[in-house]
Chains A and B, each alone.
Chain A
């Protein structure tokens, strides 16, 4: 159960519609609305939010080199994000990579 999922989606989409948006924006918003989550729970929440963003709002993973959207489907993107978050083992911040676009 994710608190304020609607607010998280709205916040994330405001950023993504505005410009390229890095993963930390989404994850930190999830954490802000759900500070009781453990990190592993936060990863699971992130996967749920991303699935909604990708499948419900047409959010794409950005190819950082070409600055073009990729055509990866939600499962691929979520796997990439999950792997990155587990590598970081902490809340992502600016510079930790994985950018989204429309």
Chain B
């Protein structure tokens, strides 16, 4: 069994939404904050590699991901070029992967790259980029990272959706249909901000996307499929009574 680094487990669940399109919900073990990555790419290895997942967009494929005995290795890398920090996950060696299975991951996501640089981890990240091991990571730094994440990055749904008192975006054919630019990356950014304040995933729904229940009431959903709007890259459905009930459409 692969042991998580830093002494704590990142528990999460990932879901295959379509080929090459996955969603992950995971909890920062230090802050208890739930994160969600939606619509990221997963390199889906052939069957012998089914327990090994690389999440996120990346440019540097970890070709040296087997050891000399041809055993599968947990792997973490972070391409500095990518928009989103990348983290690795793996299941127990030899285990089959099924949608919704829990898995253990390590690393950091969302603001991780910028925060890591702030905390002086750039050399470590650079090392990872070059294929070095990450076993010398320093938990103290990560604790500081987590503490900073938990205090300075928390926003309310109201502040995100109604900055200055007005709903974000431009009205579409109805005031509750809001159009925004930036495509899936902007949608991902808004989504991540909305779900970082204690939201919980809604499981067992037929919703073809990611569904989260917000701690102060309301439900939000993120979908990149289940749409017939050809010009829309992603949609965030929002049902927060008293705040906003409608959708955010992100166009390229």
Contact = CB atoms under 8 A, between A and B. Distances in A.
Interface of A: 10-11, 14-15, 17-20, 22, 24-25, 28-29, 32, 64, 67, 93-97, 99, 101
A74 to B, nearest CB: 21
B211 A18 contact: no
Contacts of B172: 14, 18
B123 to A, nearest CB: 43
B163 to A, nearest CB: 22
B221 A94 contact: yes
Given A14-B173, A95-B219, A20 B207 contact: no
B227 interface: yes
A99 B206 CA distance: 11
20 contacts: A10-B174, A17-B173, A18-B173, A18-B229, A18-B249, A19-B235, A19-B249, A20-B226, A20-B227, A24-B239, A25-B246, A28-B239, A28-B241, A28-B245, A94-B211, A94-B219, A95-B205, A95-B211, A95-B219, A97-B205
Contacts of B121: none
Interface in B171-185: 172-174, 176-177
Contact of B226 (A18, A24, A28, A67): A67
B198 to A, nearest CB: 18
Contacts, number: 66
B208 interface: yes
Interface residues of B, number: 28
Nearest to B173: A14
B232 A19 contact: yes
A63 B152 CA distance: 44
A47 B249 CA distance: 28
**Most B Cβ at <10 Å: residue of A20, A67, A95, A101:** A95
B167 to A, nearest CB: 15
Given A20-B226, A95-B202, A15 B177 contact: yes
Contact of B228 (A22, A28, A101): A101
Contacts of B241: 28
